[in-house]
Structures are given as structure tokens and as C-alpha cells.
Amino acid sequence: MAVDRSETIRWQGLKEFRLALKELELNLERDLSRSHKAVADVVARKARAKGAGLGSVAAKAAPSISASGVQLGARVVYGGAEFPFMYGAEFGAIRYPQFQPWLGHEGYFLFPTIRETRDETIAIYAAELERITKKAFPD
């Protein structure tokens, strides 16, 4: 003789939950881009200030640092056609006296700022994740 051990579970609010998930999915790309931009803005702003404080070529290159955010990540970009000296300002040079001594891949202002703001960027990401999920699940 077969024994029926099936049970029925009723989930109150399932319809609302599914609608919230759908809303989250619709806005996720925009929200992620905005979150990544917030992180990149902090790094870019601090790196520009640090470069300006170094003076000389670094101060001329620092304004080229800008921030953007896309769905897949934060971006801090620098240089460009008007700033061909950005790499020398950031990393130094062996042969060119207008730049500081070569540091390898350590950097003078952008890369140190990225390392120094690690905890701050993690905190921003945590706050942004909470903001995004609270939009979908307010209570």
C-alpha cells in the first residue's frame, strides 16, 4: 500500500515577490552602471587631487583622469591624445628627466589611489547593493 507523504506549502506574497524580481531585473543594468560610476568617481577625484599635488608633469596629466561606470564594472581612464605624457607622469621614466624616477608598475598617483581607496570602494559597493535590493524588496 502506497503512502502519500506530499504536502502543500502556500507562499503568501509570491506574486508580489515575483513582480519585485522582475522590476529588479528591468532596472539592474542602469543601477549597476550607476553603482560602478559612484566607485569610479571617488577614485578618479582622489587621483586627480593627488596628481595635482605632485606638481610638474603629474599636475598637467591629472585632469585627464575620468570615471565611468558600465554594467560590468567601474572604469577609471586617463591620458588621451592631449596627454601623451600621462604614462610618464604616472609611472616615471628611466631616460627622460621631465618625469620622476621609474617605479615599475607601482605608479605615483592613480594606481596608489586605487590601492588606498580599497576599503572605501568596498563600503560604497556594499551600500549600493543594499540600495538596489531595497528598491526591489522594500520591507
Mean pLDDT of 103-120: 92
pLDDT interval class at 1 (50, 70, 90): low
Q: Read off the pTM.
A: 0.78
CA distance 127 to 18: 24
Task: Determine the pLDDT at residue 80.
Answer: 86
The Cβ of residue 21 has, within 10 Å, a number of other Cβ atoms equal to 12
Residue 45, in any domain of the structure: yes
| Phi, psi torsion values for 35, nearest 5 degrees | -65, -45
pLDDT tens-digit readout, 42-101: 999 999 999 999 999 999 999 999 999 887 888 999 988 888 899 999 999 999 999 999
Q: Which residue has the higher pLDDT, 18 or 128?
A: 128
Mean pLDDT of 106-122: 93
Residue 14, in any domain of the structure: no
Helix (H) or strand (E) holding 69: strand 66-70
Residue 5, in any domain of the structure: no
Residue 128, in any domain of the structure: yes
Provide CB contacts within 8 A for 21, sequence distance 6+: 136
Q: How many domains does one find in the chain?
A: 1
Residue 8, in any domain of the structure: no
Taking 90 as the threshold, does the pLDDT of residue 9 lie above it? no
Q: List the one residue out of 29, 55, 47 whose CA is nearest residue 120.
A: 47
Task: Determine the pLDDT at residue 32.
Answer: 83
CA distance 83 to 92: 15
Residue 95 is classified by DSSP as S
